[in-house]
Structure 1
Amino acid sequence: MCTGGCAKCLGTALIPLAVLCTLANILLFFPGGKVVENNLHITDEVWYFGGILGSGVLMIFPALVFLGLKNNDCCGCCGNESCGKRFAMFSSIIFAAVGVLGAGYCFVLSAVALNRGPKCYTGREWTYPFQDGNYLADHTLWNTCQSPENIVPWNLTLFSLLLVMSGIQAVLCGIQVVNGLFGTICGDCKCCGCCGVSN
């Protein structure tokens, strides 16, 4: 597959993942699917916007760059017909690195949130009743959280989705780093029609 075509496929896959990560992060602001009266009762990691900023906004830029590489003008510069395409592929490496950082940010936040557990009311106070992910294997501990209702499965599901999707995003951006290196060194497999020459 042409390096430009490969990048377009990666960009196409990143867009829905970015949207889903943003939605998952937004849903986390409604613990158990309900509006809370006090914002201090929302789990701290939600406020770091891992899904909105890391895997959402920061992922849109690489995705759009990847999508545009296939149609990038490669008619050249300085007498070299392929240098336009090569420079575009090189710039995509930088955007892919930004994507890896964004996805990594979301991944780390999600892992920390899963290990720490949700903030909830235990009957005495609003706190984090779980330690070192002990609630993940022992579902009987979930009853410790009395409010918001169903907060444990809610946070567990959404942060798990963010963890998985941000991991996929990091892998896809990593693939583009390698693809971009090939495109920079070798050029695309076929130059656009205005050149009529292969790289």
Structure 2
Amino acid sequence: MCTGQCSRCIGLILIPLAFICIGANLLLIFPNAERKWVHHITLQVWLMGGIIGGGLFILCPGCAAIRAGGKGCCGAGCCGNRCRMLRSVFSSAFGVLGSFYCLVVSATGLGHGPLCMVESGQWEYPFLNLPNGTNYLMNQTMWDTCIEPKDIVMWNVVLFSILLASSSIELVLCTLQTINAVIGVFCGDCRKKNKKGDGD
């Protein structure tokens, strides 16, 4: 597969992943899809790892990768699309930073657990300072520690896991696109001058 085709393929995967991250982060802001809990969400949700890091920071390299797989800045084959490939190098490096930010924030969110109301009526992080060897993720009986919002542990675990998985894939793809685009800058996109049918 030539660098142009590879760029387009990576871009077409990155853009849906960015919207998945944005959607997951938005859902985390509204536990159980209810507005009344907005003031009781974790710091990791407010850091907007999915909206900023895995979302907006990825849309730019995703679009740049698709454009790098297009006809070329001056027409098909004139410069092997090197100009767009060069732009994709920088935007993909930008995407690496964004996806890494989302990955770190979501992993921390999973590790700390949700902010919730416990039996004492206080809002706290009940899973933050557990004894060594205790993992709330593997022990679902511990999830009943959180009284309100209802099922908040499941809500956080599922959505932060989606963010963690999506940002991991984004990190790999942005890294691959950075390498692919560097190759494209030096070698072109493998297209022949007489090849037709490649749109922007």
Q: 2: CA distance between counterparts of 1:75 and 1:146?
A: 62
Whether contact under 8 Å (1:62, 1:92) holds in the other structure is yes
Whether contact under 8 Å (1:75, 1:84) holds in the other structure is no
Q: Which residue of 1 aligns with 2:171?
A: 170
Q: Which residue of 1 aligns with 2:103?
A: 107
Q: 2: CA distance between counterparts of 1:29 and 1:88?
A: 37
Q: 2: CA distance between counterparts of 1:98 and 1:72?
A: 24
Q: Which residue of 1 aligns with 2:23?
A: 23
Q: Which residue of 1 aligns with 2:128?
A: 131
Whether contact under 8 Å (1:82, 1:191) holds in the other structure is no
Q: 1: CA distance between counterparts of 2:115 and 2:179?
A: 41
Matching of residues 126-165 of structure 1 within 5 Å: 126-131=123-128, 134-165=135-166
Look up the equivalent residue of 1:118 and give its one-letter code: P
Structure 1 alignment gaps of length 5 or more: 195-199
Matching of residues 24-43 of structure 1 within 5 Å: 24-37=24-37, 39-43=38-42
Whether contact under 8 Å (2:80, 2:187) holds in the other structure is no
Q: 2: CA distance between counterparts of 1:3 and 1:22?
A: 28
TM-score (norm 2): 0.87
C-alpha offsets along residues 171-196 of structure 1, whole Å, 9 cap, x if unaligned? 111110111121112111114449xx
RMSD across aligned positions (CA): 1.9
Q: Which residue of 1 aligns with 2:198?
A: none
Superposition deviation, residue 123 in structure 1: 2.4
Whether contact under 8 Å (2:80, 2:188) holds in the other structure is no
Superposition deviation, residue 83 in structure 1: 4.2
* Deviation >6 Å, runs of 4+: none
Q: 1: CA distance between counterparts of 2:83 and 2:171?
A: 23
Look up the equivalent residue of 1:119 and give its one-letter code: L
Q: 2: CA distance between counterparts of 1:82 and 1:109?
A: 43
Superposition deviation, residue 35 in structure 1: 2.3
Look up the equivalent residue of 1:137 and give its one-letter code: M
Whether contact under 8 Å (1:74, 1:192) holds in the other structure is no
TM-score (norm 1): 0.88
1:86 lines up with 2:82 in the alignment = yes
